[in-house]
Amino acid sequence: QVLVVESGGRLVQAGGSLRLTCEVSGGTFSSFAMGWFRQAPGKIRETVAAISWGGGNTYYGGSVKGRFTISRDNAKNTVYLQMNSLNPEDTGVYYCAARTSETYTPIADIDEYAYWGQGTQVTVSS
């Protein structure tokens, strides 16, 4: 059984930074493509960032490109989301997800992911 657990969400002021952490247990982490997603109140869940199983390829949603960085440490079964220059529009529940992958392509499609965490709340105050 694959377990995905996010942490690091909190209240932060606009312009600040935050790093989210996602730990995965069960399965073979180094074979998982990983993604970060978020859902704001009243909105659909959207893709924030994704990373290939080896970490060499990444994808970013348009609204976070240049501000957020996704990375992974396969030795620690962990993926990170470094978020800089935060603004109130970044507020939401951030989810981490995993799926097995045999390609070098990061997977941006939410529906492709099999294993999801419970989410961590990020609130950016103006």
Residue 118, CA distances (Å) to 4, 20, 61, 65 in order? 8, 13, 21, 24
In this prediction, residues 4-29 reach a mean pLDDT of 97
Distance between CA atoms of residues 82 and 118, nearest Å: 19
Evaluate if residue 103 carries a pLDDT over 90: no
Evaluate if residue 54 carries a pLDDT over 90: no
Residue pair 57/73 in contact (Cβ under 8 Å)? The answer is: no
pLDDT tens across 59-102, in order? 999 899 999 999 999 999 999 999 999 999 999 999 999 999 98
**What's the mean per-residue pLDDT of the chain?**
96
